[in-house]
Chain A
Amino acid sequence: MSDDALVQVRGLVKHFPITRGIVIQRKVGAVQAVDGVSFDVRRGETLGLVGETGCGKSTTARLIMRLLEPTSGEVRFDGQDITSLKGARLKAIRRDMQMIFQDPYSSLNPRKTVGATIGQPFTIHGLNSGKNERKRAVQELMETVGLNPEHYNRYPHEFSGGQRQRIGVARALALKPKLLIADEPVSALDVSIQAQVLNLLRDMQRQLGLTLVFIAHDLSVVRHMCDRVAVMYLGRIVEIGPSDALYGLPRHPYTGALLAAVPVADPSARTGERQLLSGDVPSPANPPQACRFHTRCPKAQERCSIDDPALEDKGTGTRAACHFPLSREEVAGMGVRSAR
């Protein structure tokens, strides 16, 4: 465990029970949303969590934020074990970790003015209690994120999607947190606005020395924003490593498939038939045995359904959970645009 890790997650598990019964509810199974996840988030870095629907990235984020309680495993924040923290002590931790959400249209209370929304963290934690003091603090935040401080008394519906997302960022930064988790912060925005918000997040991170966990499904955006990236599939991390290494030479076949699937904004790069992943993601209530990916993996062999591969250093910069990781030639043949 490195000392400069702000967040440490070990063996994190979250199962959502499925129940049946007439009078008494029996548990008959579970949705294994997160199934044994361990990683560090280093101070000052941007860590990306990518994966497709049902991979557990959003659940992992909520577990770190303690919006959910883990079924088992450990979450350490800033050296402290927060896994089963409750009440006032949990509230104290909340000052240091904040989250911004995907949908700028539903994540702001339409009945509260922008000023009230951004100032709410101050109220909750008893800071800046003077009325003028609070207004000044809020307006300063608004300017920092690129909003006009004179719009203090306006309501969310008077702002565009990109501006609303800026409001969310301002609110999250009010208490100068150490950790910011951004759950799909730009997916609902127009392309030309996405760049504005992404630049803002990068600027804020540099200015405030934030640690950022960035969750997204757009691999190009993640590559741009993140120093390290973790790829998740069916509740597990399948590959994790620095962006250059992971995008340059993905070792896990799922990472390769994800990268190969990204449509490339260059018509001359149309290589013809790409190797596509077939079928659908299995249900997280009934995941495959051993390696979760073996049912769809083009490289799967018998060993993969018996022996669960551990997340290990593959010697090329990333750690991958695979018995038969991709070779450089294979990656090139898949049409991965970022490969080098």
Chain B
Amino acid sequence: MSATEPLLRVEDLRVEFSTEDGVVHAVDGITYEVGPGRTLGIVGESGSGKTVASLTTLGLTRTQGARVSGRILFEGRDLAALSDAELRAIRGNDIAMVFQDPLSSLHPFFKVGAQLIEALRAHREVSKQQARARAIELLGLVGIPDPQRRVDEYPHEFSGGMRQRAMIAMALANEPKLLIADEPTTALDVTVQAQILALLERLQRELGMAIVIITHDLGVVAEMADDIAVMYAGRIVETASAELIFDGPEHPYTWGLLRSIPTLDGSREADLVPIPGTPPSLIQRPSGCHFHPRCPYAQPSHARIDPQLRAVPDQPGHHVACLLEVDVRRRLWAQLHAGRMPEEAIAAVGVPEEPQ
């Protein structure tokens, strides 16, 4: 991690919602940091809590009755303790957010330019003409051709890729220090996705802003992220630099993810290795380690003990929440990486059975 003061530091964040079916523990004690100008990738599937965590950073879960504990330190201020008015000054200003589906995330009845102007005038004292000129400039900055014409069009008149560019332009209107992008390319075609990711990288270089990119796509984080946090059932199970996560992952869930996705250069004949079972309910979570029901290497005690995020020896910045021994994990991964199935790996490594 960077030696300078982190721009954003989330400490033991917990977010709960009361619903008819019970209390949903969407985020269950996560801690992470983002340095200025760096990119953090948060990887997780549905129900991992990644979206709730990022929405809570900006206080956008308050209207849904979320109960939040923990600290969200942005430039030293705890966002979780700020009033609505104070948070509003930061939203769209120092911290901006881009969402997954630009068609539903832009208001269908207002022109794109008008929505950009609104974002500008919410935080700056500018005249309408100045705002409009700046809006056209922003649309050009994100690579939308013919911005003078486009500024007066409606979202449905844009293509999917252009809409996402417009969303990004809107987010950048006030030159934020941190951009949170929640699945920004999931709804887009692959060539458009490549364009948008390249755009985000270029803008980050030019504006020096930090990015948190939330996605389920391991390829996207490999491309974009300096550091990666893997989330499962509301917790961070592993966090490290991108190179370490892909070279030497330490958590069985991360192994499962890596082994279950087809790649462009892997073997075509071998079956994919899925993670058995389904993601857990956030109301009735598994006891102890939340992943143990689906973990091929779980021991009986893992149902009783809650793993904490611990540093991996001799790998600075690499933390993992797993109860298996480090050297057992290393040998298991070596087996899996060589193409063996989990059962074969366990047999080869000889995971020590716990005394009953």
Query: A: which residues have CB within 8 A of B?
Result: 52-53, 160, 162-163, 190-196, 198-199, 202, 217-221, 223-225, 243-244, 247, 257-270, 273-274, 276-281, 336-338
Contact = CB atoms under 8 A, between A and B. Distances in A.
Given A224-B268, A265-B218, A195 B261 contact: yes
A195 B274 contact: yes
A191 B216 contact: yes
B257 A191 contact: yes
Contacts of B231: none
Contact of A274 (B194, B243, B262, B263): B194
Interface string B128-171: 00000000000000000100000000000001111000000000
Interface stretch (B57-65, B108-116, B219-227, B310-318): B219-227
Nearest to A53: B189
B242 to A, nearest CB: 4
A186 to B, nearest CB: 10
A262 B287 CA distance: 38
B260 A192 contact: yes
B272 A277 contact: no
Nearest to B242: A267
Contacts, number: 135
Contacts of B161: 280
Contacts of B243: 267-268
Nearest to A160: B278
A277 B223 contact: no
B46 interface: yes
Contacts of A276: 191, 194-195, 198
Given A199-B271, A265-B218, A193 B278 contact: yes
B101 interface: no
A274 B198 CA distance: 9
Interface in B249-273: 256-258, 260-266, 268, 271-273
Given A263-B219, A263-B220, A276-B198, A191 B261 contact: yes
A95 B74 CA distance: 61
Contact of B271 (A160, A202, A266): A202
Contacts of B262: 198, 220-221, 223-225
B260 A194 contact: yes
Contacts of B162: 280
A258 B272 contact: no
Contacts of A191: 45, 216-218, 257, 260-261
> What 3 pairs across the A-B complex have the smallest Cβ distances?
A263-B219, A195-B274, A224-B262
Nearest to A296: B191
B197 A263 contact: yes
Contacts of B68: none
Contact of B264 (A192, A193, A264, A277): A264
Contacts of B242: 267
B257 A192 contact: yes
A195 B262 CA distance: 8
Contact of B268 (A193, A219, A223, A269): A223
B275 interface: yes
B139 to A, nearest CB: 15
Given A53-B189, A263-B220, A220 B264 contact: yes
Contact of B219 (A259, A262, A268, A274): A262
A193 B260 CA distance: 9
B279 interface: yes
B17 interface: no
Nearest to B258: A265
B216 A266 contact: no
A162 B278 contact: yes
B222 A264 contact: yes
Nearest to B270: A224
A263 B268 contact: no
Contacts of B257: 191-192
6 contacts: A53-B160, A192-B256, A192-B279, A224-B268, A261-B191, A268-B243
A192 B274 contact: yes
Given A195-B260, A270-B223, A261 B271 contact: no
A265 B272 contact: no
Nearest to B220: A263
Contacts of B263: 220, 264-265, 337
B190 A262 contact: yes
A267 B274 contact: no
Contacts of B258: 265
B246 interface: yes
Nearest to B223: A263
Contacts of A196: 274, 276
A277 to B, nearest CB: 5
Nearest to A244: B268
Nearest to B277: A192
B31 interface: no
A244 to B, nearest CB: 8
A197 B180 CA distance: 32
A247 B267 CA distance: 12
A190 B8 CA distance: 29
B119 to A, nearest CB: 24
